[in-house]
Amino acid sequence: MEKKLIVVTGGTKSGKSNFAVKIAQGLGNRVVFLATCIPQDEEMKKRVALHQKSRPPHWETVEEGENVVSVLREVKNSCQVVIIDCLTLFISNLLVSGKTGREIRDEVEKTAKEALVAPYHVIIVTNEVGSGLVPENQLGRRFRDIAGEANQIVAGYAHEVYLMVSGIPLKIKG
């Protein structure tokens, strides 16, 4: 089977992560879950714990907020599938670390290109942030814009793209 880059996008709590897990289960048993969220508070730690409980216990979890490409290279011989959850937190981490929009877009493109040459399937989970309200501050608008551009980058490289709406996956590419 040809290795695929699959993107799952949608709004908050639309079922993206659960759908990505289901796709991964159908593609192989050896799965690496690359979590880009580095929990900073108790509420986020609880969210992470709930996500971890929803995954099979034999999956490997790697937490990395900024060096996603390095992880993709490191796990190349140990898995059949990598889930990156999520692209928007990865972008947020890069933005907070002082990266420019161009640097972030370049890093996202490197990630997509690395996923294409990986010897395993890659599923990227991301948020469709531009469908809501206009953020009230400059940083929020900048994040929204960069996230929208990043989503276009990964969707452009992807073999398949799914939009999650109320827990229902809509295949929009592939």
The answer for 137, left when phi > 0, alpha when psi is -120 to 50, beta otherwise, is beta
Residue 54, pLDDT score: 74
> pLDDT per residue over 26-79, tens digit each?
999 999 999 998 777 888 778 777 777 777 888 998 989 999 999 999 998 889
pLDDT band of residue 2 (cuts 50, 70, 90) is confident
Residues 82-104 have a mean pLDDT of 97
Cite the active site residues.
Answer: 51
Total-model pTM: 0.93
Q: Which 8-state DSSP code applies to residue 129?
A: G
Residue 108, pLDDT score: 99
Check: CB of residue 71 under 8 Å from CB of residue 62.
yes
pLDDT at 1 over 80: no
In the chain the domains, ranked by start, together with CATH numbers, are 5-173 (3.40.50.300)
Residue 145: Cβ-neighbour burial (10 angstroms; 0-12, 13-18, 19+) = middle
Check: CB of residue 166 under 8 Å from CB of residue 14.
yes
Residue 155, pLDDT score: 99
> pLDDT per residue over 112-153, tens digit each?
999 999 999 999 999 999 887 899 999 999 999 999 999 999
